Chains A and B, each alone.
Chain A
Amino acid sequence: MNLLQKFLLELQEITLLITAAFVGLFKSPRYVKETVKQMDLIGVGSLPIVILTGFFTGGVLILQTFPLLVYYGAQGESGKAVSTSLIRELGPVLSALMVSGRIGSAISAELGSMVVSQQIDAMRALGTDPYRKLVAPRLIALIFMLPFLTVAADVFGLIGGGIVASTLFNQDYGVFLASVRNGITVEDIISGVIKPLFFGLIIGSIACYKGLSTTGGTVGVGRSTTSAVVLSSIVVIIFDFFLSRALQSILDVRPV
């Protein structure tokens, strides 16, 4: 099995997994309770790390760009600088990366150990579809929760930026807020919320596939966890580029 075949096989399996999970949603049994539980685990559980990441990312953005803005005499536009970069790009990508690190690894480890301990086989033997029971709730939860996590990261990033601007650079809150309002457009916010939907799908499907395709005992679980996190992070970043360009074109966002 050469590398191209392996790649094509993985792509095929991931596509089939996503299809199976979503087709399963149209038939009962639907595992709503399991979905809500995953939402709580993925969404609320990831909130602290996403908030922290956003907060300090916003802070460091101001920290780095403020002196440059002072150089051009545009320190009044500091909020604009933070809000455009954070809401358009850094919020969605950073929260996706944090979630893939925290949730992607958890999913693939959980499913991998279930495969290794043959619980999946047992499930199948009992007539339960593991795609519906295990994959679909996790995918739905990720797709639903990642936009909210992104919004949290954006908001706390702006708060962190404002705090850094006011405490370290003595900029008035009002000036900062005004320039934030001035900087964001509806298109920015919409594209910042659309992107996490795709990222959630990517993270969930890769993590689930990697977990379910685990072979080789406990060592295999570790390997699949690692590859799930690495692959999902890379794919998220690659997709982000094309998605951004497409959204810019569709929503007519100024590339400035």
Chain B
Amino acid sequence: MPPTQKNLSFSQLRVGIFVLASLLILGFLILNATGDFNPFERKIRLKARFATADGLREGAEVQLAGVTIGKVEEVKLLPPDSPEDARVEATLIVEEIFDGKPISERIRTDSTAQLIATSILANDKMINITPGSPKGQNVSENAVLNSTESMSINQLTQTGNELLQQINKMSVPTNEILNKANRGEGTLGRVINDESLYNNLDATVGETKLTMTKLQNTLDRINTGEGSAGKLLNDPQLYDNLNRTVAQLEAISRDLRAGRGTAGKLFSDDALYNDTRAAIADLRVSAVKINGIADDFKVITNDLNEGRGTAGKFLKDERLYEDARVAIGRLNTTAEKFEIILGDAQGGKGTIGKLLTDESLYNNVNQTASNVNQLSSESTKLIYDFRQNPKKYLTIQFKLF
């Protein structure tokens, strides 16, 4: 039964104190184990500035590469003279030690804080910090992170609206084109409505099919070894022949190397070489002799140059030349005179001129000739007549009165 004294010392309440303490510790452990409450955790404050909070509230999640590491402690407006892209400052409170390592090893000065939407429907925002690279420095308390804003649903709908308007604008001409095509106008219309293209295509396809069949047949025949191509592919005879030829060529080359036959001797026998060498030596002797002849010629030419001998005089003595010149000069004058005579003759001057130009002589001669002709024919007739009737002419009439 409970003690009934008015005043109790704490020593009499040991069980009560113990139970209370254990209950409190149990409650703390439950909350601590589930991660709701951790008073021993050290926190670090970071700052990020944005143009607009856009639904970011105090208590919103802060993530590092998608892992929750803290929350937004405060969102406040910056003074009005701050730059346009930093009107709002969010203070982020994140765990200083995360997963056994200082968070500043992960969040560096080149990390960026992104304002991202938690879902498509809600306008709630959270902050995602991208992990920094080793190039950056460790962040310190109250460091201001670089920030980017993700596209909000508002911006998205605005862009979508503009896109829709563009599509609307485009749909009018498209409609016209389609209408035209429907009516069968233009190339597109023909393509759609005219059957001839299809028929042609169909026919082409049919022909192609036929061609393919033929090709197939040909290939089959080649495969079975018919025809030249077939034989080429299938008959080993050609190969054998080639093989044999090659073998023979090999044998020939072997013979050549061994020095058998004419060609072989050509390659390997020294006799021909020796003969050729002797011939060349003879040739050299001949050349020497020819050289001698050439020297003689030189002597003769020198003599000629110096005007010695008949031929030399002929070449060197100028008298002959002079005589020839005089003779040619005379000939020249003669020719000139002759030319004058001829010109006169052409002009009809003189006898020869008349002879050449006056036709009367010709006519006369002609006349004479014809007369002579006539005379001769007459004489022929006369002689004939005389022969026929000699008496006629040989009758001598003696008449005396």
Bound Cα distance A248, B30 (Å): 10
Please give the number of chain A residues whose Cβ is less than 8 angstroms from any Cβ of chain B in the complex: 18
Contacts of B275 in A (CB 8 A): none
Contacts of A8 in B (CB 8 A): 10, 13, 16-17, 20
Whether A13 sits at the interface, judged by CB under 8 Å, is yes
What 0/1 readout, one digit per residue, does chain B (384-396) give for beta carbons within 8 Å of chain A? 0000000000000
Q: How far is the CA of A15 from the CA of B3 in the complex (A)?
A: 15
Contacting residues, chain B, for A11 (C-beta < 8 A): 15-16, 19-20
Say whether chain A's binding surface is mostly helix, strand, loop, or mixed.
Answer: helix
Cβ B8 vs Cβ A9 within 8 A: yes
Binds A, one of B31-39, B94-102, B199-207, B359-367: B31-39
Give Cα A15–Cα B19 distance, bound, in whole angstroms. Answer: 8
Is A64 close to B, CB under 8 A?
A: no
Q: Which of B2, B14, B16, B34 contacts A213 (CB 8 A)?
A: B2
Q: Is the CB of B30 within 8 A of A12?
A: no
What does the 1/0 interface line of B309-353 toward A look like (CB < 8 Å)? 000000000000000000000000000000000000000000000
Looking at chain B's contact residues, is the secondary structure mostly helix, strand, loop, or mixed? Answer: helix
A16 within 8 A of B: yes
Q: Is the CB of B33 within 8 A of A249?
A: yes
| Beta-carbon contact of B27 and A12 below 8 Å | no
Q: Does A246 contact B (CB under 8 A)?
A: yes
The answer to whether B6 has its CB under 8 Å from any CB of chain A is yes
Whether, in the assembled complex, B7 has its beta carbon less than 8 Å from a beta carbon of chain A, the answer is yes
Whether the pair B7, A12 counts as a contact (CB closer than 8 A) is no
Q: Which of A9, A15, A242, A248 contacts B2 (CB 8 A)?
A: A9
Q: Shortest distance in angstroms between A114's beta carbon and chain B's nearest beta carbon?
A: 13
In this complex, the member of B2, B14, B33 whose beta carbon has the largest number of chain A beta carbons within 10 angstroms is B2
- Which residue of chain B has its CB nearest to the CB of A15? B19
A249 contacts across to B, CB distance below 8 A? 30, 33-34
- What is the distance, in angstroms, from A125's C-beta to the closest C-beta of chain B? 13
Q: Is A1 an interface residue (CB 8 A)?
A: yes
- Among A5, A213, A246, A248, the residue within 8 A (CB) of B13 is A5
Cβ-based interface call for A37 (8 A):
no
Question: Which residues of A lie under 8 Å from residue B30 when comparing CB positions?
Answer: 242, 245-246, 249
Between A1, A12, A212, A245, the greatest number of chain B beta carbons within 10 A of the residue's beta carbon is seen for A12
Interface string of A190-222 (1 = CB under 8 A from B): 000000000000000000000011000000000
Distance between B206 CB and nearest chain A CB, rounded to angstroms: 57
In the bound complex, how far is the Cα of B15 from the Cα of A11, in angstroms? Answer: 8
Residues on A with beta carbons closer than 8 Å to the beta carbon of B34: 245-246, 248-249
Min CB–CB distance A254 → chain B (angstroms): 13
With contacts A245-B30, A246-B30 known, is A1 near B6, CB below 8 A? yes
B residues touching A (Cβ–Cβ < 8 Å)? 1-3, 6-8, 10, 13-17, 19-20, 26-27, 30-31, 33-34, 36
For this complex, 8 residue pairs linking A to B, each with C-beta atoms less than 8 Å apart, are A7-B16, A8-B16, A10-B16, A242-B27, A245-B36, A246-B34, A248-B34, A249-B34
Closest 9 CB pairs of A and B: A12-B16, A8-B16, A12-B15, A11-B16, A8-B13, A246-B30, A249-B34, A15-B19, A11-B19
Interface residues of A (CB under 8 A from B): 1, 5, 7-13, 15-16, 212-213, 242, 245-246, 248-249
